[in-house]
Chains A and B, each alone.
Chain A
């Protein structure tokens, strides 16, 4: 099983480094960006299996990054999880309705983080399989027809 790749976006260097270290400890391949803009630049050449992203950041905030990822066909399937000090229920609801795969409120326990990451990755994997099966089925049906 290959190592899962995670992109962590947060403007606070201490947060960034700590979480990265935690996830590395859990055997994930982690890369970081300080804001949405940096993240997009990174995504041009490195596609992660999951994105963890802070909400309030300079230059480009979490919502803006999420929106531009959702609008990008090749990036939109990547599970996107918000990691924010904001805990207003309205905001969390909005993010989830906009298609975020999770919302973790700071501060959090490491178990919560690993759980939500693992769940996101599993779902992503599952979706990939279903899609593959569908395509396989489609091919089968096509070959049967021909």
Chain B
């Protein structure tokens, strides 16, 4: 299991557009389960609506956890994704 923390900088937070792109991205990592957590709530990153319903806003710290598959590579790819889109 590998994880990283990220502080959201997008002014609208994890809104529909990046959430959609994120789900797509996560889908491509077939062997890994990706979880996104804020505080004590967490959600499977494949679940678009549940992810949006977390109401993650600018300034929120999220923890992204990767389990299974090439954990290190997926973690790096996702970290880059967050930096570029969120």
Is A bound to B?
Answer: no
Interface residues of A (CB under 8 A from B): none
Interface residues of B (CB under 8 A from A): none
